[in-house]
């Protein structure tokens, strides 16, 4: 058994997303000429502040389709239970590691629980050892990985690429940062939020405090 940490690597994001979103939204008001002050490209501090205010106003008024024009892809490492919850979000695209094809003969990777009850750890460790030993025994007996996987635990680690537009990411984060979300998903959502916040602060920064 190998313990791995959850992670969220931002592998792709619409370049200059907040500038693009302002440009797109301004078509509604025929005000593209207000994209910049007397600076050359609308990227001075003053323009960035104005842009943040403009985008925050769109969000407050529910003019959110604008935020569908920017997207981001994350490489997430989490467990099977959490990827199962993640893929319920339908307005996104996913590709994840396959327990049918991958043979964990070097040890089963797992993401440990957050252990609300510290005394649960001993029972969890015993179950992990039993599951891994059964998995390896099945492989040794000639079972293919797609059969041996039937004894893997829900906390078996998985890598998943997830691509969604900003509106859908914000929706996912709102649901999965909430107190009633799974603690592992909450902690993964915080990592995703940290990747997105600098890309469009007006839309993502402060989201956790809002919930």
Residue (46 or 84) nearer to ligand FAD, CB:
84
Phi and psi angles of residue 130, each rounded to the nearest 5 degrees, phi first? -65, -40
112 or 171: whose CB is closer to ligand FAD?
171
Site map (CB under 5 A) of Zn ion, residues 40-69, x = contact:
----x-xx----------------------
Q: Which two tokens stand for residue 90?
A: 């339908």
Output the smallest distance, CB 204 to Zn ion, in A.
23
- Residues that bind ligand FAD (rule: CB under 6 A) add up to a total of 9
Answer for which of 27, 37, 126, 127 binds Zn ion (CB under 5 A) is 37
Q: In angstroms, rounded to a whole number, what is the distance separating the alpha carbons of residues 70 and 101?
A: 33
The footprint of ligand FAD on residues 64-93 (CB under 6 A) is: 88-91
Q: What is the DSSP string of 173-203?
A: HHHHSSTTS-HHHHHHHHHHHHHHTTT-HHH
Residue from 60, 176, 186, 190 carrying the catalytic annotation: 176
* Residue 89 contact among Zn ion, ligand FAD, none, beta carbon within 5 to 8 Å by kind: ligand FAD
Binding of residue 181 to ligand FAD (CB under 6 A)? yes
Alpha carbon distance 1, 132 (integer Å): 7
Residue 69 has what DSSP assignment? G
Q: Is 26 in the site for ligand FAD (CB under 6 A)?
A: no
Nearer to ligand FAD, 157 or 181 (CB): 181
What is residue 92's three-state secondary structure?
Answer: strand
Run of H or E residues at 135: helix 120-140
Cα 75 to Cα 41, 55, 78, 89, 120, distances in angstroms: 32, 27, 10, 16, 30
174 binds ligand FAD (CB under 6 A): no
State yes or no: residue 39 binds Zn ion (CB under 5 A). yes
Residue 1 CB neighbours (<10 A): 17
Asked if 62 interacts with ligand FAD (CB under 6 A), we say no
- Is 176 part of the annotated catalytic residue set? yes
Backbone φ and ψ for 4, nearest 5 degrees, come out as -120, 155
At closest approach, how far in Å is the CB of 166 from ligand FAD? Answer: 13
Q: Give the binding site for Zn ion (CB under 5 A).
A: 36-37, 39, 44, 46-47
Q: Give the binding site for ligand FAD (CB under 6 A).
A: 88-91, 168, 171, 175, 180-181
Catalytic amino acids? 176
């Amino acid at each position: 058994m190998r313990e791995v940490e959850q992670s969220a690597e931002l592998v792709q994001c619409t370049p200059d997303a907040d500038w693009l979103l302002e440009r797109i939204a301004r078509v509604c008001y025929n005000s593209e000429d207000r994209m910049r002050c007397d600076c050359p490209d609308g990227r001075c501090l003053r323009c960035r502040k104005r842009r943040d205010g403009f985008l925050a106003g769109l969000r407050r008024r529910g003019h959110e389709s604008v935020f569908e024009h920017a997207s981001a892809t994350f490489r997430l490492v989490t467990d099977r239970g959490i990827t199962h919850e993640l893929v319920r979000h339908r307005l996104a695209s996913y590709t994840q590691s396959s327990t049918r094809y991958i043979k964990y003969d070097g040890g089963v990777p797992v993401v440990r629980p957050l252990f609300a009850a510290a005394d649960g750890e001993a029972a969890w460790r015993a179950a992990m050892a039993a599951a891994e030993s059964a998995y390896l025994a099945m492989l040794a007996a000639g079972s293919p990985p797609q059969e041996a996987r039937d004894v893997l635990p829900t906390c078996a680690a998985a890598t998943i690429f997830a691509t969604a537009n900003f509106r859908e990411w914000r929706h996912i984060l709102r649901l999965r940062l909430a107190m009633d979300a799974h603690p592992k998903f909450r902690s993964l959502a915080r990592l995703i939020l940290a990747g997105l916040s600098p890309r469009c602060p007006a839309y993502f920064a402060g989201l956790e405090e809002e919930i």
